[in-house]
Amino acid sequence: MNPIVLKFHIRAIRNYIRTRLDWITIIEILLFGGFLVYYVLDSLHAQFANVLLKKGVGAAWNAFYRNQAIALLIFLPSGMAFARKQLASPGHQVLLTMPMTMYRACSTIVDQILFSWALLLPIWIGFLFSFIFQVHTETVEFITIIIYHTLVFFSPVLLGMFFWTAWKSTRLKHGLLRWFNTLVLISVLTAIVLLSAYNHKMHHWIVHTLITLVLLVLSRSLIIHQLVNLYTVIPDKLISQKWNIYQPFMFWVRVYMFFTPKGIRPFVRKDTLYILRRYKVYALLIPAFIIAIVAGIFHVKTFDEAMQWMLSISIASGYVFANMAFRFSDQGCELLSVVRSQPVSMKRYWFAKFWDALLPVIWITGVGSIALFLIPGFNLVIYLRILLAAAFINVTLVFVQTNFALYSYPYTRYASMWYNLYLVMGVLFFTILLFPPLSIAFWLFGYLAIFRVLKQLKQTDVLYD
């Protein structure tokens, strides 16, 4: 990696931390993250010690491999999302105009992203250390395991970049790899990395390390090649984006608008289109939701369990959608000036946000109801109770989110960048999940605060330049 680029990349990270995170937030993140990491590592350490004591070294290694595979699967969506976000940054254009070859520039871009991802490496290594010190290993083996484990850590972000470049290449007439081929290749690569680790009987760490290294170097080379292809292509030769893929949604948007009060219809339509079109932001949540539904059908046995399960899914989805409605549809509230410069009351704008939250409720309960009918003895009364509870909680979450954002900062544009909000919402989410009746208190709080919020919305300075 180019040392000058590295130097300024480190400065950019430092500036980001300085300007975006205040001290309270940094302390909160450190405390919260530190507690979480300590809790996970401590329980893993205890688990390994227990297995080692009761079942011996072979079983302990087995447990380690299994946990590593799980950890990799957890890191995979984050790594892929991280890669997508980083590669999409327009800042890379600057690097392309510098006096270096395209391959050099693109490899620097890729390494820059890997470097940022490496900031999480201590946590990953900590996971290894929670185990490795408990079993006897030779020095060479010890070093090789660390190298292997580190290489595995970089696989999610490399696979993410691989996928992103392939996805973008679908707009090229002569892309090297189509996204479907890439998807297959990624699956094969992940499977090989995982299987290579899972083959615990071999204990040939050097072989594991070499296989993984070759695969990752191959991925990196393909990413760089794809990036060069993408950046050097003449824009005129790009196939224009196929926006008509959203046309099937338009019918449902129109149906939804039919039931939306006329006064807030433009807002809700805009938000709905926005949410549908920014599907990449939440695409990974959809399979998670499907897994949760399918898992529920197989595990839920009683009425109470079914209700609790359905409620949990509704709350979780509501939490995500409430955040999305406020966060993504307004891009950091910067665009509030568009609304503020139109002859509409802030009351209408604000009320539209609640209507946004109703869409996921309808969606979730619609999908959920199909699943619920598969549970024997489930009746309409329980279904209606869940529907009401879900609607209630979704609205509460929007209330609370809107209020906290506006209470906390003098300028609305910073509201969604306020990291404390996500911590507060996280606490509220789990509180409501554990004690659903508490949502009444939150709802009342939100309702009583409406007047202050509206006043604040009207008076907040619009600053965007």
Partner 1 sequence: MIKIQNLSKKYDRTQALDDFSLSIGRGEFWGLIGPNGAGKTTLYKSLLGLLTIDNGSIIIDGKKVDKHPEHIKKIIGYAAEPPVLYEYLTGPEFLEFTGTLNGIEKNELVQKINHLLKEFDLEFKSKDPIADYSHGMRKKISLAAAFLKEPSILLLDEPTSGLDAESIYNLKNHLLSFRDKGVTLLLSSHIIETVEKLCSHVAIINKGRIIYKDTIENIYSALGPGETLETLLIRLLRESE
- Sites of contact with partner 1 (CB under 8 A): 240-241, 243-244, 265-266, 269-270, 273-274, 277-278, 331, 334-335, 337-345, 458-459, 461-465
User: Sign of torsion, CA 319 321 324 325?
Assistant: negative
* Spatial distance between the Cα atoms of 186 and 107, rounded to a whole number of angstroms: 20
| Least distance from partner 1 to the Cβ atom of residue 170, Å | 15
Angle at 22 between CA 18 and CA 26, to 5 degrees: 95
- Closer by beta carbon to partner 1, 45 or else 340: 340
Q: Is 331 left (phi over 0), alpha (psi -120 to 50) or beta?
A: left
31, amino acid identity: L
Nearer to partner 1, 101 or 241 (CB): 241
- The radius of gyration of the chain from alpha carbons, rounded to an integer in Å, stands at 25
Residue 245: partners with Cβ closer than 8 Å, 6 or more residues away? none
**Distance, CA of 465 to CA of 447 (rounded, Å):** 33
d(CA 433, CA 440): 13
The residue (of 241 and 379) whose beta carbon lies closer to partner 1 is 241
Instruction: Kindly tell me which of 236 and 461 has the beta carbon lying closer to partner 1.
Output: 461
Closest approach of partner 1 to the CB of residue 394, in Å: 23
Taking residue 305's Cβ as centre, other Cβ atoms within 10 Å add up to 13
In angstroms, give the least distance from the CB of 352 to partner 1: 11
Asked whether 457 and 349 are in contact (CB, 8 A), the reply is yes
- Judged by beta carbon, residue 9 or residue 413, the one nearer partner 1 is 413
Q: Minimum Å distance from CB 449 to partner 1?
A: 20
Strands (E), 252-411: none
Nearer of residues 104 and 347 to partner 1, judged by Cβ: 347
Cβ 458 to partner 1 shortest distance, Å:
7
Q: Which of 314, 283, 279 is nearest to 296 (CA)?
A: 314
Minimum distance between the CB of residue 349 and partner 1, rounded to whole angstroms?
9
Q: How far is the CB of 278 from partner 1 (least distance, A)?
A: 6
Distance CA 57, CA 51 (A): 8
Q: Which is nearer to partner 1, 104 or 269 (CB)?
A: 269
DSSP tag of 260: S
Q: How far is the CB of 96 from partner 1 (least distance, A)?
A: 18
Pick between residue 155 and residue 456 the one whose CB is nearest to partner 1. Answer: 456
Pairwise CA distance, residues 35 & 222, whole Å: 39
Q: Give 266 or 436: the residue with its C-beta nearer to partner 1.
A: 266
In whole angstroms, how far apart are CA 345 and each of 173, 264, 352, 462?
A: 48, 10, 11, 16
Q: Which is nearer to partner 1, 208 or 353 (CB)?
A: 353
Kindly state the smallest distance separating residue 234's Cβ from partner 1, in Å: 15
Q: Minimal distance in Å, beta carbon 454 to partner 1?
A: 13
* Start-to-end C-alpha separation, the chain: 34
- CA 305 vs CA 347, 362, 433, 439: distances in Å: 39, 21, 14, 20
How far is it, in rounded angstroms, from Cα 38 to Cα 288? 26
Q: What is the smallest separation between the CB atom of 328 and partner 1, expressed in angstroms?
A: 9
Question: 217 and 155 in contact (C-beta within 8 Å)?
Answer: no
Please, which residue, 85 or 270, has the CB nearer to partner 1? Answer: 270
User: From CA 21, how far away is CA 27, in angstroms rounded?
Assistant: 10
Contact 271, 329 (CB under 8 A): yes
